[in-house]
């Protein structure tokens, strides 16, 4: 089915991105014979439309940067793929797909080194801008701690649209695959994320960010919990 034929309210919702569509179609081709691929893809499309039919309509559409590549709507599309193809799809596969969508922007910033004060301060300014956008759209509820040159950067989300969606549709098992690439993103810019909770398995998603040579990391070793989340002590 052509994307243009999908029936959903495009005044408030957006279509999955082209890179997301490519990721899903590649996995469908991996798991299904040629004769079934279009049928499976159409089922994913229809599941996506069904998911949007009762989702919140105040996320800002194309104007909200959180709705772009690897963002809110791509996560819904990945969950649609998971629901349709659950008999063959794995959570490791979903994590790989979300990483392929989310991480290219960080790979372009390989020159960044968050162990250096200049880049740490610049990163903080980026988070200040992100908070302004969150406050504008009301999608993620974001709190940002004051800047301290002698301490890691800290911010938190106390509300996340994707986590809300997963809870509503009984898909919390998918959330580790969608959250874990945050760790990889920081690693690509010589930083580390220290996280103990997310909005899907706690009351907030906490982000403590420091350089990858910061002594702070010694007291907060990383592990992967029984649900598959990357977390810290």
For 180-225, the pLDDT digits (tens) are 999 999 999 999 999 999 999 999 999 999 999 999 999 999 999 9
**Dihedral over Cα of 71, 74, 207, 119: its sign:** negative
Whether 165 and 219 map to the same domain: the answer is yes
| Percentage with pLDDT > 90 across the chain | 100
Q: What is the mean pLDDT of residues 6-33?
A: 98
Count of the separate structural domains present in the chain: 2
Name 104's bridge partners: none
Whether 87 and 196 map to the same domain: the answer is no
Can you give the pTM of this predicted structure? 0.96
Whether 162 and 182 map to the same domain: the answer is yes
d(C-alpha 101, C-alpha 97), whole Å: 6
The pLDDT assigned to 149 comes to 96
CA distances from 142 to 25, 103, 225 (A): 34, 21, 25
Residue 104 token pair: 């290219």
CA distances from 190 to 41, 70, 97, 155, 218 (A): 38, 21, 22, 18, 16
- Of the candidates 43, 131, 35, which has an alpha carbon nearest to the alpha carbon of residue 85? 43
The pLDDT assigned to 71 comes to 97
Whether 97 and 117 map to the same domain: the answer is no
Whether 63 and 125 map to the same domain: the answer is no
- Average pLDDT score over the chain: 97
Choosing from 102, 118, 144, the residue where a domain stops is 102
Residue 122 token pair: 């610049």
Whether 84 and 130 map to the same domain: the answer is no
Q: What is the mean pLDDT of residues 4-28?
A: 97
Whether 93 and 121 map to the same domain: the answer is no
pLDDT tens by residue, 120-173: 999 999 999 999 999 999 999 999 999 999 999 999 999 999 999 999 999 999
Q: Could you say which DSSP state residue 8 is in? A: S
Whether 128 and 189 map to the same domain: the answer is yes
Q: With cut-offs at 50, 70 and 90, classify the pLDDT of residue 118.
A: very high
Whether 46 and 62 map to the same domain: the answer is yes
- Of the candidates 98, 85, 101, 14, which has an alpha carbon nearest to the alpha carbon of residue 52? 14
**Residue 75 structural domain:** 3-102
The pLDDT assigned to 12 comes to 96
The pLDDT assigned to 220 comes to 98
Whether 7 and 51 map to the same domain: the answer is yes
- Of the candidates 15, 34, 29, 28, which has an alpha carbon nearest to the alpha carbon of residue 82? 28
Choosing from 102, 131, 159, the residue where a domain stops is 102
pLDDT tens by residue, 52-88: 999 999 999 999 999 999 999 999 999 999 999 999 9
Choosing from 65, 84, 102, the residue where a domain stops is 102
Whether 130 and 227 map to the same domain: the answer is yes
The pLDDT assigned to 148 comes to 98
* 191-194: strand order across its sheet: 141-144, 153-159, 205-211, 191-194
Whether 142 and 95 map to the same domain: the answer is no
The pLDDT assigned to 62 comes to 92
């Amino acid at each position: 089915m052509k994307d243009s034929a999908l029936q959903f309210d495009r005044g408030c919702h957006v279509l999955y991105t082209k890179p997301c569509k490519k990721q899903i179609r590649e996995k469908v081709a991996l798991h299904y014979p040629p004769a079934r691929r279009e049928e499976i893809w159409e089922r994913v499309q229809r599941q996506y439309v069904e998911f949007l039919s009762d989702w919140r309509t105040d996320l800002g559409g194309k104007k909200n940067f959180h709705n772009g590549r690897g963002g809110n709507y791509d996560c819904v599309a990945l969950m649609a793929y998971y629901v349709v193809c659950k008999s063959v799809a794995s959570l490791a596969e979903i994590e790989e797909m979300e990483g392929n969508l989310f991480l290219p922007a960080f790979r372009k910033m390989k020159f960044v080194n968050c162990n250096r004060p200049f880049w740490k301060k610049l990163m903080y300014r980026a988070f200040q801008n992100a908070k302004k956008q969150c406050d504008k759209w009301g999608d993620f509820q974001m709190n940002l701690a004051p800047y301290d040159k002698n301490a890691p950067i800290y911010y938190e989300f106390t509300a996340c649209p994707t986590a809300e969606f997963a809870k509503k549709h009984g898909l919390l098992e998918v959330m580790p695959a969608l959250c874990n690439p945050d760790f990889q993103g920081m690693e690509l810019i010589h930083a580390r994320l220290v996280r103990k909770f997310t909005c899907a398995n706690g009351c907030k998603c906490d982000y403590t960010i420091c350089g990858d040579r910061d002594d702070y990391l010694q007291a907060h070793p990383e592990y992967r919990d029984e649900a598959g989340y990357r977390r810290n002590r």
